[in-house]
């Protein structure tokens, strides 16, 4: 009897012998690359950074905008706008420049405005009269369109009818 094992066509003894120790495990280079990518992601440089709170005030109103500063395209996010009336306001209007909403899909805005218009310069959302000391919170949910890279920027202002009381620029960086 012969101790030689016959292999099927296309299979030879090299297919059944153990590979060298270096080739048995994952490459150290791939582990370094994966570890480096995870380290960069944890810094927030690729998006998912914190939320910033911007404030602007006047004798008439305090405007606070809470929004993320760095996001990735395709992400969902929330922006809240809080307005505190420091005096009686006949018609509280939230004004948002179109540049801030460009390439964003708005999923919701709560509470809904009683009137929504565009004056050629900005979108205007009317919320009616507010008493001194009264605070209004507007919650907006958005999704960044997948093709947006770079960011969006625009001005948000609070108005009494046609008169601006407080405003500020808002910018959100968008990473791929």
Residues contacting residue 8 through CB under 8 Å, at least 6 positions apart: none
Cβ atoms of 71 and 143 closer than 8 Å: no
| Six-digit token string for 103 | 């390439």
Quote the DSSP letter at residue 89. B
What residue ranges do the domains of the chain occupy? 13-43, 51-175
Cβ atoms of 148 and 103 closer than 8 Å: yes
Domain spanning 51-175: CATH 2.60.40.10: yes
Q: Look up the pTM and report it.
A: 0.75
- Summarised one tens digit per residue, pLDDT across range 73-117 is 899 999 999 999 999 999 999 999 999 999 999 999 999 999 999
Return the closest-CA partner of residue 93 out of 154, 169, 166.
Answer: 166
């Amino acid at each position: 009897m012969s101790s030689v094992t016959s292999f099927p066509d296309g299979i030879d003894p090299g297919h059944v012998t153990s590979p060298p120790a270096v080739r048995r495990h994952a490459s150290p280079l791939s582990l370094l690359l994966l570890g480096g990518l995870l380290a960069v992601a944890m810094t927030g440089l690729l998006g998912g950074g914190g939320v910033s709170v911007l404030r602007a005030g006047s004798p008439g109103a305090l405007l606070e905008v809470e929004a993320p500063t760095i996001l990735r395209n395709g992400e969902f996010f929330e922006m809240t706008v809080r307005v505190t009336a420091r005096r009686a306001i006949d018609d509280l209007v939230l004004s948002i420049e179109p540049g801030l909403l460009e390439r964003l899909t708005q999923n919701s805005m709560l509470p809904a405005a009683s009137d929504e218009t565009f004056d050629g310069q900005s979108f205007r959302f009317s919320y009616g009269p507010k008493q001194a000391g009264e605070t209004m919170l507007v919650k907006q949910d958005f999704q960044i369109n997948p093709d947006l890279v770079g960011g969006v920027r625009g001005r948000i202002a609070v108005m009494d009818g046609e008169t601006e009381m407080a405003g500020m620029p808002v910018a959100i960086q968008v990473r791929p």
